[in-house]
């Protein structure tokens, strides 16, 4: 694109539409296409989903996949950054267990920032990436009241294994849990520049709030039911369907639509095909848990729902989205409480949002960074007045 080429004409029709489709900046980490979904630095996400999450985090920060030496040095780098300050324990111990885990996550991130902020965007972003698995594991432990004998962190382990070590799951196939969590994280790391949580995090950072304060803002955005919390609603929906018999599933879907309720796990604002992140997770489910009754429901939903949704011409995309199978996979590996699912989403997004904040604050405009956000609002229903 040339410097003076108009990208679009903004008309009054665009006002009060949440900036939908209005170009506001550039993104160096990812883009989304209607058919292939999200790409990280050019790679379709489905091509990356089998890689260790640390390698894909490296990609988002460095814009290249690591060589094996770079991958091993990046793991050591994260290990050196991973220690979580002891002040997090009394803070988590004091929070109401009735609070949503996303509120705990936001407060946990703020606490880490109060304990130590370097002021260097990239150091703070990578420090937080390295501290997330321990923080999240501790949130689970304190909310469950399992606070006796929490194992020490083992910084020599990878990110997923550090979470599992802190969690100490009982009666779970840890190999499967590791594979499901690694894939979940890779698939949720980033999603272009303009999604609400990423935008919020970058907007907060543009006022030179700390990386931690910016990320807590992003997590607060992500916690909304129209944004990240949809993945919690999706598993709740699957549990409500309760049968994998196609005609009963069809009856259930039609009743939901008649009641003006959404059919969770289907549709997307940008994609116009099945989300490749859903396709990957369907294949993972067929391999890891083909007999799981919830997975059987998801399989039937995938067969039945698009046909019914396509009957409504208003629905731009009747196909499965990323949230359709992720909750069922997490449930299968022992992470059974859907209230926590958005915190896994948040854990993943800390890397993508962190990388985008670093880019906006240290790379854009030849390193000068993006100035404080200040979109224009036009006064309405007001005339100049004097007392
Ligand atoms: N069930 C019922 N109605 C649906 C629908 C679905 N799965 N998908 C779209 N529609 C409806 C919309 O509500 C909208 O209705 P109105 O005109 O009455 O407002 C109409 O069809 C047109 O919608 P659209 O243009 O196709 O899609 P939107 O960009 O407006 O909405 C949503 C995209 C994802 C919000 C929507 O498809 C939806 O509500 N899906 C179900 C909930 C869900 O699975 N959410 C997770 C999305 C994944 C994600 O991005 N997570 O972050």
Tell me the percentage of the chain whose pLDDT exceeds 70.
99
Compute the average pLDDT of residues 166-192.
97
264 CA distance to ligand 1 middle (Å): 8
pLDDT range class, residue 1, cuts 50, 70, 90? low
pLDDT range class, residue 167, cuts 50, 70, 90? very high
Compute the average pLDDT of residues 234-244.
95
Compute the average pLDDT of residues 197-203.
98
320 CA distance to ligand 1 middle (Å): 11
**320: pLDDT strictly greater than 80:** yes
State the pLDDT at residue 226.
86
Ligand 1 pocket, CB under 6 A: 227, 230, 262-269, 309, 314-317, 321-323
227 labelled catalytic: yes
**2: pLDDT strictly greater than 80:** no
Walk me through the domains of the chain, giving residue ranges and CATH numbers: 31-226+337-362 (1.10.580.10), 230-332 (1.10.230.10)
Name residues whose C-beta falls within 8 Å of residue 8's C-beta, 6 or more positions apart in sequence: 21, 22, 23
pTM: 0.96
Using most ligand atoms within 8 A of CB, pick from 241, 262, 323, 341 the residue to mutate for ligand 1: 262
Each residue's pLDDT tens digit, 95-124: 999 999 999 999 999 999 999 999 999 999
Each residue's pLDDT tens digit, 68-80: 999 999 999 999 9
pLDDT range class, residue 270, cuts 50, 70, 90? confident
State the pLDDT at residue 291.
97
Compute the average pLDDT of residues 246-262.
97
Averaged pLDDT of the chain: 96
């Amino acid at each position: 694109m040339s410097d003076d080429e108009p990208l679009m004409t903004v008309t009054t029709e665009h006002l009060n539409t949440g900036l939908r489709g209005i170009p506001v900046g550039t993104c160096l980490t990812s883009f989304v296409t209607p058919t292939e979904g999200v790409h990280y630095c050019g790679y379709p996400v489905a091509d990356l989903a089998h890689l260790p999450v640390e390698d894909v985090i490296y990609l988002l920060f460095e814009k290249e996949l690591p060589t094996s030496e770079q991958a091993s040095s990046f793991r050591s780098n994260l290990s050196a950054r991973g220690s979580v300050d002891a002040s997090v324990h009394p803070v988590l111990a004091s929070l109401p267990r009735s609070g949503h885990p996303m509120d705990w996550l936001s407060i946990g991130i703020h606490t880490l920032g109060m304990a130590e902020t370097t002021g260097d965007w990239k150091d703070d972003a990578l420090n937080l990436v390295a501290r997330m698995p321990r923080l999240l594991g501790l949130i689970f432990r304190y909310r469950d009241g399992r606070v006796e004998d929490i194992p020490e962190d083992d910084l020599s382990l990878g990110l997923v294994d550090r979470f599992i070590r802190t969690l100490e799951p009982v009666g779970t196939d840890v190999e499967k849990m590791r594979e499901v969590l690694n894939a979940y994280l890779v698939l949720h790391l980033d999603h272009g520049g303009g999604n609400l949580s990423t935008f919020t995090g970058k907007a907060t950072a543009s006022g030179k709030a700390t990386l931690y304060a910016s990320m807590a803002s992003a997590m607060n955005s992500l916690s909304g039911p129209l944004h990240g919390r949809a993945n919690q609603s999706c598993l709740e929906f699957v549990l409500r369907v309760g049968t994998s018999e196609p005609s009963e599933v069809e009856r259930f879907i039609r009743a939901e639509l008649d009641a003006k309720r959404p059919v969770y796990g289907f549709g997307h604002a940008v994609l116009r095909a099945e989300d490749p992140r859903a396709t990957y997770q369907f294949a993972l489910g067929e391999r890891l848990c083909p007999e799981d009754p919830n997975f059987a429901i998801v399989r039937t939903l995938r067969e039945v729902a698009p046909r019914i949704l396509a009957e409504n011409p208003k629905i731009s995309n009747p196909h499965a989205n990323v949230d359709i199978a992720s909750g069922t996979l997490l449930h299968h590996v022992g992470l059974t409480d859907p209230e926590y699912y958005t915190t896994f989403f948040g854990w993943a997004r800390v890397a993508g949002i962190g990388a985008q904040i670093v880019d906006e604050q240290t790379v854009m405009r030849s390193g000068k960074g993006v100035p404080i956000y200040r979109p224009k609002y036009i006064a309405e229903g007001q005339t100049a007045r004097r007392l």
